[in-house]
Structure 1
Amino acid sequence: MTARPSPEWTVPERVAGPEDLDPRLLRPTGRTDRLQVVVEHYVPGAGRCPACGWPVLRRQECPSRQVAVCLLDNRPLPVRLAHLADVIPGARTGRDTAADRHEQRRIEDGLPGLFAAPTRAPERGQPQ
């Protein structure tokens, strides 16, 4: 006897597309917009997300909320949302290489800010 349910009982998992995400995530956003998405897509329990109507079993399952949290924490997207990385500005998948991190830091250091950016020390183990 197998532990798998019979095929007629299995329901294909719904795959999130760009049209299922909060429209704010499809354009470059700041921390404030991302935090608003996290708050608006908060689901206290099982049911549907109040903002997008996505069916969820746990609050972490709303794709808009997951993407916003990943962007806020600078984490890669989860595997089930990795196909959206090309559509979402700032989203990434997998691990970054040292060259990617160096390039990102160079870009961020060049942006204007409130205060002058301190000079970065080279990473340990890197030739100068």
Structure 2
Amino acid sequence: MQHDEFVGDVQHRLELASNGEAIRATRAVLTTLGERLQADEAADLAGPLPMEIDRFLHEADSGQIFDYDEFVSRVSQRAGVEPSDAAFYAKVVVDVVEDAVPDTELDDVTAQLPAEYDGIFELLEDESYY
């Protein structure tokens, strides 16, 4: 998947007005996810992503331990949206990532996260929101 396709998918699925908003949403989610994952897993997840997108995972201060509420709070602050929107942003961006990476890679990601994070992977099983 190329950068423009990735950003366009995020923009379309979140119904955002601009590519800039889609990039901000993507950066907010992937930076926060990268902070929560171990550095090697963040790097593995970043590998198949477009270079302009993978940097959000590479540049994150990986290996932090925080709960799902803190995850949503960080995404909310970074994206400049309400927490309820931030939770949906996380689901959508992770779903677009899922389109770009091998299935086994997301299995590795979910294995590193506690069950309370399962919500960000909900769209992977339910594509009916489109």
Q: Under a length normalisation based on structure 2, what TM-score does the superposition of the two structures give?
A: 0.30
Q: Which one has a bigger Cα radius of gyration?
A: 1
Q: Which has the higher contact order (CA 8 A, sep 6+)?
A: 2
Q: Under a length normalisation based on structure 1, what TM-score does the superposition of the two structures give?
A: 0.30
